[in-house]
Amino acid sequence: MSSDWDFIYEFGGRHGAKESDVVSIYHDAMDYPFRKQMHQQGPLDYQDMVFAITRILMPNFVVETGVRHGVCSSFILAALAQNGLGQLDSCDPMWSSQEEACRRIHELICTPVDLFDRWSFYPMMSSTHFHDPDWLADVVMPRGVDLFVHDSDHGFGNMMWELEWALEHCNKGGVIICDDWDWQENEELEKHADGNVVRQFCAGHRLTFSTIGTAAVIEL
């Protein structure tokens, strides 16, 4: 197991999971049938951790910004299916419809089609079009968010907007995951004093965060 799983053990303990439960979740993540298809999509540590957090947290409602090839989305859906509850709503400009997104993701990484029963996909005009009040009202109200996953535009303004939105709409005990939290390739980030959105956001709200591979995890 990678060192990142140390955090998952601790996370599980805070959410009532036994050590044996976390070991079982680890093996589920490693053995998932479509996992072998994802090796060409990049490192899997991040997706493994999102899978584990979703399994432990048992969320009723997950919101994800940024889908691309659907690797993380597939792991969330797999976790929800094993939990036997939960819905994932995702948005991304890459696909023009839910039908296209499901078909292409299935072709790319062999995600079982039955997992899509728990998924609603919303095509966006751009990576920052998540700021759509009509869509947000339809998706979130009257449900609160239990798990929010940011993996869209990593520019300072968009990341901060999404984190602030997630903080406002997450239920008590909810979790925010921000992938590429230390992204430094965007020049806009370097113009800000601290140069890091997650640090500024957490400092402003007196929150703490943990890092798992490329991601920051904020427990509310």
Spatial contact of 70 and 94, defined as CB atoms under 8 Å apart = no
DSSP label of 6:
H
* pLDDT tens, residue by residue, 150-197: 988 888 888 888 899 899 999 999 999 999 887 744 455 455 555 688
CATH 3.40.640.10 assigned to domain 4-219? The reply is: no
DSSP label of 206:
T
Global confidence as pTM = 0.86
Residue 78 to residue 97: CA distance in whole angstroms: 21
* pLDDT tens, residue by residue, 32-91: 666 665 554 444 578 888 999 999 999 999 999 888 888 889 999 999 999 999 999 998
What is each CA distance from 189 to 49, 154, 170, in whole angstroms?
26, 9, 25
Report domain extents, the chain: 4-219
* pLDDT tens, residue by residue, 186-220: 455 455 555 688 999 999 999 999 988 788 999 99
Task: Write the DSSP assignment of 136-185 as a string of letters.
Answer: HHHHHSSPPEEEEEE-S--SHHHHHHHHHHHHHHEEEEEEEEEETTT---
